[in-house]
Structure 1
Amino acid sequence: MNRARTTETKDKTINPTAASLAAVYRGMKELDAQQEARAVLELYDKVKNQQFAIAFCGHFSAGKSSMINELIGENILPSSPIPTSANVVKVQSGIPSARVTVRDKGIIHVDAPVNLEKIKKWAKNGNEIESIEINVEQDLLPDRIAIYDTPGIDSTDDAHKVATESALHMTDVVFYIMDYNHVLSQLNFTFIRLLKEQGKKVYLIVNQIDKHNEKELAFSAFAEKVKNGFKSWDIEPEDIFFTTIMEKGHPGNQLREIKMLFQKFYLAKDEWVEENARKETERLIRTTVQNGLDLDEAHHHEAFELAGQQDKESAKAIAGKLSEEIETAERKKKENQTGIMKEFKDILDNAILMPFQTRDLAKNYIESRQDSFKVGLLFAGKKTEAERKARLDAFYESVKENVKTQISWHLKDFLQSHGVSVKSEPVIGEETMAALIKPGASLNGNYVLQYCNDVVAEIKKQYTTHFRDELHQLADKASEASDHELKKLRSELDAQEKILVAHKTKQEILEKWNEVSEELNSSLNGPLNTEGAVEEAEQHLIQRIQRVTMAEIPENTDVKKTIEEDDTSVTGSNKNAKTEENELLKEAEQLQNAAAVLSKLHLMKNRASDMNQFAEKMKNRDFTVSLFGAFSAGKSSFANALIGEDLLPVSPNPTTATINRIAPPDEKHLHGTARIYFKKEGDLLGEINQSLVHFGKQAGSMKEAVSISESIDRSQRSNELRPHLQFLQAVCRGFDAVRDLLGKEQTVSVEQFKSFVADEEKACFTESVTVYYECALTSMGVTLVDTPGADSINARHTNVAFEFIKKSDAILYVTYYNHAFSAADREFLIQLGRVKDTFELDKMFFVINASDLAKDDDELQDVVGHVGDNLRQFGIRKPKLFPMSSYFSLLGQKEPSAWLPDEAGRLKKKYGNLAGQQDNLLKETGYIRFMNAFTGFLNHDLAHVMVTAAKKQLSQARNVLDRFIAEAVANQENAEQKKEELQRTMSELQKKINDYSLEQKQEALEKEILELLFYVKQRVMLRFTEFFNEAFNPAVISGSVKEQKSALPKSGKELHQAIQFDLQQESRATVLRVEKVIVRLMSEMNEELDRKLAQWDPPQYEMQKERVQFETLVVETELGQVEGRESVYKEFKNAKQFFEQGGKKQAMEQMYTLFEGPVSRFTDESADVFGRYYQPLLSVEAQKERELRIKEYTDYYEGLLQTLNSPSVVEEMKKTREALNNLV
C-alpha cells in the first residue's frame, strides 16, 4: 500500500487538501509541536487515500467489538463481558495483513495469514501494544472505509480512556454505544458532549435491547425517555439507534438502518473526509498556537502577570508622576537633616533661665560667698553657713523651676513629636552651681550677670551632651524616613518600568503566535509551494513504518487463567433449609416447655422468664437483608426473583431513588400495602441547599428553595452542575403535590407505591418505603432492603447508607454481567473489605446478574474469575459468588400459563426443553444454587447461633437446679450455719464485682483507638498514589497549556475529596472495629471476674454478646484545608513535561507532604471524638453487665436460702428436675 502511495506522489496526483495538510505538518514540525504534527501527518495520509473513518466508542462490554464484527461480517475482534480491547484497533480494507504499534518501540508488520486469535490477545494488552491496524478483504468492508474499535471509557483502567481520546482526531463519524441498562449515566453525557464540542458527527446506539421487557415498560416509552435524557443535557446527536445482535429479528432492532447508513457514508465520504480533516486541522492549529503561546507565557509568566495587572498607558502616566515625586523627596531629605539640630538649639537659645527674680537670688547667693559676709554675733559661723545654704537652695530651686518650664517641657514635646520619649534629663547640682563662682569674685552687677551666664552655659552644655545620641538618632531617623520614602518611590517607578517592559514582551509574543497562526492557516487554505512538504510527509510516513521492523511484539502476560470454581468457598452451606428451620423451631419449643416446667418453682421464675423470651425470639426471628449494587445492575429484578413476583418497578433507567423495604405483613400492616415515609421539611431543605450551593445560592425555607430553584438558569452546561439541576427541577415539579405530606406517613396500595420509587418528582420527597408482602422470602422473617444505586445520574442516589452494612444480617451485592466490574463498584467494595472482619459470620453474597448473557460456560468462568480477582484485591477473601439470571429465575417460578408469548419464546430459545422443567430450569438459571446457599446461611449459620444459645440456657438451668438440690441435701443438718455463709458469700461477691476497676480496660480502649486510627492514616496515605493518578490524569489535564493549568485546581479538589472520602470511609469501618474491641474488653472483664470470684464457687455466668448494643457513632470529621497546593500548581509547565519528564512524580511527592499534616490532624481529631463517645459507652455497658451478674448471683443464692428455709421445696425441685430430664 505504501508503494502505491509513493507512486501517487511521484505522479503529482496528490489531493490539494492533502498537500495543504503536508504544508501544515512541516510547519508544526518546525515548531516542535510533536503531538499535533503527528496527528496532522495521520490526517494527511487519511485525506490522500480518501479514507472515511468511523469510530466506535462507549462503555466497555456494551458490544462495540461485537457490533463491528457484525457490520464487517467476520469475528475479527475480541468480545467479552469483561474489558477486552485495551488499545485502539483499526480495521480497513486491503490485502489481508496487520500492523501492530508496540509502545515505545514502533511498528511491525504481520503478513497473511493473520492469526486472529493472536490479534485478539494483543488487543487486550494495553500495557505493551499501543494500536493495531487490521486489513481485511474488500468484500468484508468497502474500499476506503476504516473502522476504529476503542477501549471502554468506563473501565477502571484510566489508560483506556486516554487511548480512546487519542484516536478521535482521525474519525469522521463516531458511533457511541451504550448498554441497554446503562444509558442515562453522567459519564455518557459528559463524554458525548466532549465529542460534540470537538465538532464530531455523533450517532448513539443503545445496544442489547433484547433485554427489554415490554411488560415492565413500553419500548416506545423507554426510547422517548432516552431521547429526553440527552435533550436535557443539550446533546443533539445525529440520530439514536436501538440494536441487538443476539435477537436480530427483534421488532425494535435497527441494525439494518446502521448498515444502510454505512452506504450513505460511502457515497459522501470524499466530501466529508476533506471537510472533517480541515476542521480537525484547524482545531490542531489552534491547539498548537495556544500551546506555544501558553509555553511562552509560562516561560515569561512574570511578564504576562505584570502586563495583566495594569494597562500600558496607565503605567506610562504613573511612571512620570513618580519621577517628579522622587525629585521632591530628595529635596526634603536635605531639609530634614539640618532641621532637627536647629529646632533643638532654638529650644535652648530661647529658654529664659535667668529672669530678674532669679538674678536677685543669684546676687544674694554671691553676696553670701563674700569673705566679709557674717550673720549674727553669737554662733556666727553656724548661722553664716546656714544662711549661705539657704540662699544657694533658693537660687537652685528657682533655676530648676526655670529649666523645667523653659527647657524640659518644650524639649519633651519636641522629642515626643519625633517618636522619642524622654527617660531622663541632666541634673545640675547645687555643688556645680556653687563651684561656678570664681574665687575672689567681687559683688557687683557685672559679676552677677557673668555668673548667671556661666550657670546658663553649663545647663545648656549638659543638655546638649545628655541628648547628643538622641539628636543624632533623630537626624538619622529623619534621613532614614526620607530614604525609605525615596526607596519606596524608586521601587514603584521600577515596578512601572517593568510593567512597560512586560507589555513590550507580551506584545512581541502575541505578535509572534498570531503570525504563526496566520502562516499555518495560510498553509492549510492555499499554500504557494507544497511539493517539498509532500515529499517530507511521505518520507516521514515511510520512516515510521520501516524504523522498527525488528521490534518484537511481547506476549500479554496478563491473561487470566480459567478459574475452577471452589464450591466450598462459593456456595456456602447447602444444607436443607426446611430441616434447619424445623430444628430451630423444635429447639424453641423445647426451651418454652422447659421454661413452663421451671416457672412452677418460685426460685426459677426469673430464669424461666428469660428462657421464654428467648424462645419467642427464636420463633419470631426476623432478618434484615440489604441489597446493594451499582444502578441498573438489576437489583430490583434480582429482588423480584427472590420474592417470586413482579413487585418492585424494573426499568433500564435509574429508579431506586429511595430506600425500599419488603417486609412480612402483620396485624397492623396488611399484605399488598405500602407505607410511604416522606422526608421532614428540614432534612429536605438541607438536601436542596447541598445542591443550591453549587449555584452560589442558599434557602431558608422550602418556599424560598422552590422559588430559587425555579429561577436557576436551566441552560447550565456544566457536567458537575447537571445532576444538581435535575434534582432541583424534580423538586419544583413535585413540590405542590407533596407539600402537605412532608414529615408524614401515608399508606398506599402496591400499585400506587411504584410511582414513589420510580418517578423522581415523587422519589426526591420520599425518605423510604416499606412494602408489606407475603411470599416465601418474607415468611422466613426476612425484610429485604433495596438501596439506591451508587453510580446513578441522580445526585441523591450516590448517598448509600452504610449503616445497613452494620445492621444487616446478610448483604447481597449485585453486579451486572456485562459490567462485571466497573469503576462505580470500587469504593463500596473496598468498604465491604474493610468491615468484613468485624462480622461474626461471613454474611456477604455476591451475585453476577444476567448470567444468561454468557455465550458459553468458558465465558461465564472468565467473568466469575474477573469478579473474584477484583474482590480479592479489595480484601474480600473467598467471596461467595453466584452467577444468576434474575429475569429467567422469576419466569421459572411462574406457571407456564402465566408466560407471555415473548417470554415463552425467550425461555425456549435460551434453555430449550428445560423451559418446561421448573426445577431443572431454576437450577440452570443459578436460582437454586443461590437460594440453597442463602437460605442455608439464614437457617443454618444464623440459626445455629440461636440454637447453641438455647441449648446453653437449658444446660445452665439443669446445672443450677442440680446445685440447688445438692446444696439442700448436703446442708440439712447445719442449715443455719450455711445460711450465714451464703449471706456472707453474696455480700462478698457483690463487693468484689462492684470494686472491679475499669481503668485498665479504658486505657486499653484508648490505646486501641489510637492504633486503629494510626493505621487509618497509613492505609489512606498508601492509596495516595492511586488517588493522585486518578485526579491528575491525561484525560483531565488536556487541551491547551492554559486549559491544562486551569484543570489543576479541579484535580486538586478531586484529590482532596477522594482522600477525605477515604478517611471517612476508613473511620466508619473503624467505628465497627472499636465496637468489636469494646465487646472483647467486656468479655475479658467477665473472664477476669470469673477468676477473681472462683474461690466462692458461684454459678457459671455467661455474657450475652448480643445484649451489647451501640448507637453507631456518626462520622462527621472533615479533612480541612490543605495549604500550599497553589505553589505546586505554579511549577506546572505543560502536560508533556508533567507526564513524560518527571513533573508528575515531583508534584505527587510535594502533594503527599502537603496532605500528611491535614490527614494526621483528621485522625487526631477522630481519636478525640472516638474517645469522648466510646469511653462513656464502655463504662455504661460494663456497669450493666456487672449489674446483670449481681442479679443472677442474687437470684441463685436467694434460691439456695429458700431451699434451706423450706426443706419441702427440695422435693419440688427433684420433681422439676425429673420433668426437665423427660423433656430433654
Structure 2
Amino acid sequence: MGGAVAAMRGKAARLAASRFTVALFGAFSAGKSSLANALLGERLLPVSPNPTTAAICRISPPDEAHPHGTVTVRVKASAFLLEEVNASLSRLDLEGGDWATCLRAIDQGEVIFQKHPAKTHSSFLRSVRQGFSRMGERLDSEFTARLDDFADYAADERLACYVESLEVHYDNPLARRGAILVDTPGADSVYGRHTGLAFHYMKNADVILFVTYYNHAFSQADREFLLQLGRVKDSLTLDNMFFLVNAADLAGSKQEQAEVLAHAESSLAKLGIRKPRMYAISSREALAAKREGDEEALERSGFGHLERDFTAFLFEELAGQTQSAAARDIARARGSLEQRLRMAEAAAEEREAVAAQRELDATTILRLIANLPQAEALLEALNREVQEQFYYIRQRFDYRFGEWYQACFNPAALRRENGANERLILRAAWQEWTALVSRSLSQEALAASLRIEKAALLLRDDALREVQRSMEAGFPDFPFEEAEEARLPTPSVKEDISFTDRPVRWLIGFYKNSKHFFEGGGSDELRKELAVQVRDEIGAYLSECRETMTSHYVSLLRNQLQEASIWLRENFVRYREEQASSPPAQEKKAEWSAVVQKLRELEEGLEGEVRSVYGCGEGTGSLQE
C-alpha cells in the first residue's frame, strides 16, 4: 500500500498548493486593464497609452517573501532589447548595430519617423531613446519597486519598453483563492515576441478571458490572434475560454446589446471559434458598483453573471478534475485491499495457484516494461502526425495568400501621407506583408505543436495502458499511478522567415500610379509574381519547423517512455519484495477491513473535502464574497 499512499499524498500536496492562472487577452483599448480592475474590485492597473511595448503584468497572491504591495520589475536583457531596436530600425530602412550606433540613428531619424508609415516602430524607437538615460543601466537586472511607481513601469512607454515583466503581489479576492491574474500585451502588439508570450499563456492558462470593445470591428491583428485562439481552443480537453464585449452600457437598448453580441458571436464563428461563452459587460460600471457595494448596479453591468460563471468554472470545474483523479486513486487503493481480503479468505490451494500464476505474469510484465522505450512503431506514428500537420499548414498558406496580400497592398495602406512617396509606401507594404506572413505561419506552427503534443501523449498513454491491463489482470493491488494530464515544453519556433529582400525598384515596376496599380492590373501582377517567388522560401521555413518539431517531440516521447519504464520497474520490483516479506494475509484482515471502510468514507466525502480546499463553500457567489 506504500505506493498508493505516496501517490495520494503527492496529489494532496499539489492540491493544497494549487495556483490558477487567469490570462486576459484583447486588442489595445478594448478594456483589458479596466476588466482586471473590475475583477480585483479596485483601480490597480493603469491604462497604457500605447500598445506597442506594454509589458506583461502578473497580479499574484502575497506571501512571506513578497508582502502585499511588493512590485518586482524584470528588465529586458540588453542583447534582446538591442535586437528589437535593430529590427525597428530595419523596418524604417535605417542602419543599426551596437547601442551607440542605434542611439545615434534614432537621434538622426526624426525626419524619417514623421514620414514613414510604420508609426508603431517610430514610436517605439522614440521611447527607447527617451528612457535610455534612466533604464539603460538597469538592463539585464531585476529589482523591487514601490507600488506607487508600478503605474510608470507598466504604462509610461519610456520605461515600459525596457520592461520584460512586472509582478505585483497584491491581496485581492482572486488571490485569496489562489488565482494569479495576467494582463498580456495587446493582440495588436508590434513584436512577434509578444505573440510568443501570448501563445504561452493560451496554452498554459487555466482560464482565458478575451475582451473586445463594444461595436468595434476586428482588425487584421485581432483576426490573426483569434484564429490562433480558436486553434488552441480546439486542442483543449476542457473549454476554458470566456469572450466579453466590454462597454455594453453604450447600447441604446437590450435589443441593440443582443444584436451586438450576436454579431460578435458570428464573427468569432467565422474565425473558427464555435459556441463561445459570450458576455456583455461594462467593466467601468462594475468597478464603480463594487467600490460602492451596490449589488444591483453590479448585476446591471453584466458583471455579476460573468463572475458567477467564471468563479464556478475556476474553482469548481477545475477542482472537479483533481477530484476525479483523487477519486480514482482512492478507488484503486480500496480495490487493492479488497482483493487482498478476498485472497485471505480463499482456500490454501487457490492461494498457491494464484501465486504460481503471478510468477508467470510478473515475467510478462517485466518484459513489457523493458520494451516501452523501444516502441519504434509509436515513434513512427508520431513522425507521421508531424508530417501531416505541416502538410495542412502549407495548404492553408496557399489558401490565405490572397487575404494576406490584400491586407498589406490595398488603397488605404498605400495612401500617401505626411510627404511619403510611392517608394517608401511600397517598401513599407512589403515589410508589413513579410511580418504578417512570418507571424501567421509561426503561430500556425505553434498551434500544430499542440496537436502534435496531444498525439504524443495519447501514444504514451496507449503504451502504458497495455502495461496497466496486464498489471490489473495479474496484480490488481499494484498501485499503478495513471499518468497525469501534462503540458510538454513547446519547442522554439523561428518567428521571422528569411525572405530575400525585394528592392524598391522591383516593387515600383508594378506601380505606375494608384489608378494603374488597383484598376490597371498592377496589383494582380505583383500578387501572382510574389506567390511564385516566395514559394521556395515558405517551403524552406516550414521544412525547418517540421524537422524541429519531429526531433523535439520524438525525443520527448522517447524520454517519457524511458522514465515510465524506469519508474514501473523500480516500483514493481519493490512491490514484489514487499509482498514476499509481508505478514500472512490472515493476520491483517481486521486492519485491512477497517482501512477499506475508511476509504469508502473518503470516496463519499471527497466532493466536500475538495470544495473546502478551494474555499468554495456552499454555492459559488461572486469574488467579493
Change (3 A) 1:747 1:792: same
Instruction: Find the counterpart in structure 1 of residue 12 from structure 2.
Output: 615
* 1:825-836 map, 5 Å: 825-836=222-233
Answering whether residue 495 of structure 2 is matched by residue 1121 of structure 1, we say: no
Give the deviation of 1:1189 after TM superposition.
Answer: 3.4
Change (3 A) 1:1172 1:608: same
Answering whether residue 131 of structure 2 is matched by residue 755 of structure 1, we say: no
Instruction: Find the counterpart in structure 1 of residue 298 from structure 2.
Output: 922
Instruction: Find the counterpart in structure 2 of residue 235 from structure 1.
Output: none
Q: 2:461 aligns with which of 1083, 1086, 1107?
A: 1083
Is 1:723–1:794's contact at 8 Å kept on the other side of the alignment? Answer: no
* 1:30-41 map, 5 Å: none
Change (3 A) 1:848 1:958: same
Q: When the two structures are superposed, what TM-score results if normalisation uses the length of structure 1?
A: 0.46
Answering whether residue 410 of structure 2 is matched by residue 999 of structure 1, we say: no
Answering whether residue 425 of structure 2 is matched by residue 1027 of structure 1, we say: no
Instruction: Find the counterpart in structure 2 of residue 697 from structure 1.
Output: 95
Instruction: Find the counterpart in structure 2 of residue 1200 from structure 1.
Output: 579
CA displacement, residues 1139-1175 of structure 1 (integer Å, 9 cap, x when unaligned):
3355544543343333333322222222211111111
Could you tell me how far apart the structure 2 residues matched to 1:720 and 1:1036 are?
9
Could you tell me how far apart the structure 1 residues matched to 2:135 and 2:514 are?
51
Is 2:7–2:481's contact at 8 Å kept on the other side of the alignment? Answer: no
CA displacement, residues 1003-1052 of structure 1 (integer Å, 9 cap, x when unaligned):
11111000000000111211111112222223345679x96677555544
* 1:274-423 map, 5 Å: none
Is 2:94–2:105's contact at 8 Å kept on the other side of the alignment? Answer: no
Q: When the two structures are superposed, what TM-score results if normalisation uses the length of structure 2?
A: 0.86
Change (3 A) 1:787 1:605: same
Is 1:709–1:729's contact at 8 Å kept on the other side of the alignment? Answer: no
Q: Show structure 2 runs of 5+ residues with no match.
A: 605-625
Answering whether residue 554 of structure 2 is matched by residue 1175 of structure 1, we say: yes
Could you tell me how far apart the structure 1 residues matched to 2:51 and 2:392 are?
37
CA displacement, residues 140-192 of structure 1 (integer Å, 9 cap, x when unaligned):
xxxxxxxxxxxxxxxxxxxxxxxxxxxxxxxxxxxxxxxxxxxxxxxxxxxxx
Answering whether residue 108 of structure 2 is matched by residue 712 of structure 1, we say: yes
Give the 3-state SS of the residue equivalent to 1:894 in structure 2.
Answer: helix
Could you tell me how far apart the structure 1 residues matched to 2:83 and 2:555 are?
31
Could you tell me how far apart the structure 1 residues matched to 2:291 and 2:388 are?
55
Q: 2:265 aligns with which of 848, 868, 885?
A: 868
CA displacement, residues 6-27 of structure 1 (integer Å, 9 cap, x when unaligned):
xxxxxxxxxxxxxxxxxxxxxx
Give the 3-state SS of the residue equivalent to 2:165 in structure 1.
Answer: strand
Instruction: Find the counterpart in structure 1 of residue 201 from structure 2.
Output: 804
Could you tell me how far apart the structure 2 residues matched to 1:878 and 1:635 are?
22
Change (3 A) 1:979 1:621: same
Could you tell me how far apart the structure 1 residues matched to 2:367 and 2:261 are?
60
Is 1:1117–1:1165's contact at 8 Å kept on the other side of the alignment? Answer: no
CA displacement, residues 1154-1210 of structure 1 (integer Å, 9 cap, x when unaligned):
333332222222221111111111100122223333345445444433446575344
CA displacement, residues 676-707 of structure 1 (integer Å, 9 cap, x when unaligned):
2222333233333333444533343x5x3675
Give the 3-state SS of the residue equivalent to 2:239 in structure 1.
Answer: coil
Change (3 A) 1:1194 1:1212: farther
Give the deviation of 1:1221 after TM superposition.
Answer: 3.6
Change (3 A) 1:799 1:661: same
Could you tell me how far apart the structure 2 residues matched to 1:992 and 1:972 are?
30
Instruction: Find the counterpart in structure 1 of residue 47 from structure 2.
Output: 650
Give the 3-state SS of the residue equivalent to 2:43 in structure 1.
Answer: coil
Q: Residue 96 of structure 2 aligns to which amino acid in structure 1?
A: Q
Which structure has the higher relative contact order (CA within 8 Å, separation 6+)?
Answer: 2
Answering whether residue 119 of structure 2 is matched by residue 741 of structure 1, we say: no
CA displacement, residues 722-758 of structure 1 (integer Å, 9 cap, x when unaligned):
5434433333333333445333332233222222112
Change (3 A) 1:1046 1:606: closer
CA displacement, residues 400-452 of structure 1 (integer Å, 9 cap, x when unaligned):
xxxxxxxxxxxxxxxxxxxxxxxxxxxxxxxxxxxxxxxxxxxxxxxxxxxxx
CA displacement, residues 26-59 of structure 1 (integer Å, 9 cap, x when unaligned):
xxxxxxxxxxxxxxxxxxxxxxxxxxxxxxxxxx
* 1:112-151 map, 5 Å: none
Change (3 A) 1:613 1:965: same
Give the 3-state SS of the residue equivalent to 2:291 in structure 1.
Answer: coil
Change (3 A) 1:612 1:736: same
Is 2:75–2:165's contact at 8 Å kept on the other side of the alignment? Answer: yes
Give the deviation of 1:950 after TM superposition.
Answer: 1.1
CA displacement, residues 585-621 of structure 1 (integer Å, 9 cap, x when unaligned):
xxxxxxxxxxxxxxxxxxx233212212212322332
CA displacement, residues 180-234 of structure 1 (integer Å, 9 cap, x when unaligned):
xxxxxxxxxxxxxxxxxxxxxxxxxxxxxxxxxxxxxxxxxxxxxxxxxxxxxxx
Instruction: Find the counterpart in structure 2 of residue 933 from structure 1.
Output: 309
CA displacement, residues 268-305 of structure 1 (integer Å, 9 cap, x when unaligned):
xxxxxxxxxxxxxxxxxxxxxxxxxxxxxxxxxxxxxx
Instruction: Find the counterpart in structure 2 of residue 988 from structure 1.
Output: 364
Is 2:4–2:479's contact at 8 Å kept on the other side of the alignment? Answer: no
Change (3 A) 1:1118 1:639: closer
Q: 1:951 aligns with which of 315, 322, 327?
A: 327
* 1:1154-1169 map, 5 Å: 1154-1169=533-548
Q: Residue 835 of structure 1 aligns to which amino acid in structure 2?
A: V
**Which one is further off, 812-821 or 824-833?**
812-821
Is 2:118–2:428's contact at 8 Å kept on the other side of the alignment? Answer: no
Q: Residue 269 of structure 2 aligns to which amino acid in structure 1?
A: R
Instruction: Find the counterpart in structure 1 of residue 623 from structure 2.
Output: none
Instruction: Find the counterpart in structure 2 of residue 884 from structure 1.
Output: 281
Is 1:674–1:750's contact at 8 Å kept on the other side of the alignment? Answer: yes
Give the deviation of 1:778 after TM superposition.
Answer: 1.3
Answering whether residue 241 of structure 2 is matched by residue 844 of structure 1, we say: yes
Give the deviation of 1:1064 after TM superposition.
Answer: 0.9
Answering whether residue 445 of structure 2 is matched by residue 1059 of structure 1, we say: no
Q: Residue 641 of structure 1 aligns to which amino acid in structure 2?
A: A
* 1:501-512 map, 5 Å: none
Could you tell me how far apart the structure 1 residues matched to 2:479 and 2:591 are?
25
Is 1:848–1:884's contact at 8 Å kept on the other side of the alignment? Answer: yes
Give the deviation of 1:864 after TM superposition.
Answer: 1.1
Is 1:657–1:797's contact at 8 Å kept on the other side of the alignment? Answer: no
Could you tell me how far apart the structure 2 residues matched to 1:1076 and 1:1197 are?
34
Change (3 A) 1:732 1:1034: closer
Could you tell me how far apart the structure 2 residues matched to 1:818 and 1:964 are?
66
CA displacement, residues 925-959 of structure 1 (integer Å, 9 cap, x when unaligned):
01111101111111232121111111111100101
Q: 1:895 aligns with which of 292, 312, 331?
A: 292
Q: How many residue pairs get matched?
A: 597
**Which one is further off, 689-698 or 633-642?**
689-698
Q: Residue 939 of structure 1 aligns to which amino acid in structure 2?
A: F
**Which one is further off, 746-755 or 1194-1203?**
1194-1203
Give the deviation of 1:794 after TM superposition.
Answer: 9.4
Is 1:982–1:1201's contact at 8 Å kept on the other side of the alignment? Answer: no
Could you tell me how far apart the structure 2 residues matched to 1:686 and 1:922 are?
46
Give the 3-state SS of the residue equivalent to 2:484 in structure 1.
Answer: helix
Is 1:1117–1:1166's contact at 8 Å kept on the other side of the alignment? Answer: no
Is 2:365–2:467's contact at 8 Å kept on the other side of the alignment? Answer: no
Could you tell me how far apart the structure 2 residues matched to 1:1102 and 1:1002 are?
24
Change (3 A) 1:1066 1:743: same
Q: 1:768 aligns with which of 133, 153, 165?
A: 165
Is 2:48–2:154's contact at 8 Å kept on the other side of the alignment? Answer: no
- Percentage of pairs with the same residue: 34
